[in-house]
Amino acid sequence: MLLFGFQSFAQNAEMEAFKDLFNSEKKMALGEFLDLETSQSAKFWEIYNDYTEERKDLANRRIALLKKYAYQYGTFTDEQASEIVKETFSIRDQSDKILWKYYKKYEKEFGAKTAAKFVQFELYVQTSIDNELQTAMPLIETK
């Protein structure tokens, strides 16, 4: 039991380190992509930090969903498959709502082009992650 708890802690610590590294690299790439003026930078990153904080729960829900999928793979009941699909759509819906909320904040502060460029970057990253996950995940067996 103690070993399992330690292993779980180590995996969680590793996951947190990975998320921190990913977010740091993503932020650097976004900064290069947007090429903000110095006068805009502080306000942009203040809003962005709020955005990433608001998305943390979604990231955790998505990781939990992937773990659930992996754990139940090959033994899915119809009910479990339905729960996974419902949670997937719930996460996507919430993600879109948060992105729209922050698009409007950026549009108000920096104009539509900068806000649209932010959305373009976010959707590119999200789509890239989705593509990688879909490529790596085995399909649900129906037989």
Confidence of residue 13 (pLDDT cuts 50, 70, 90): low
Specify the pLDDT at position 10. 44
Tokens of 72: 């139940």
Tokens of 58: 């979604």
pLDDT in tens, 97-109: 999 999 999 999 9
Q: Which residues contact 77 (CB under 8 A, 6 or more apart)?
A: none
Specify the pLDDT at position 8. 46
Specify the pLDDT at position 37. 85
122 neighbors 31 (Cβ within 8 angstroms): no
- Cβ neighbours of 74 (radius 10 Å): 9
pTM of the model: 0.79
Calpha distance 58→66 (Å, rounded): 12
Domain boundaries, the chain: 42-143
pLDDT in tens, 45-85: 999 999 999 999 998 898 888 888 887 777 888 898 899 88
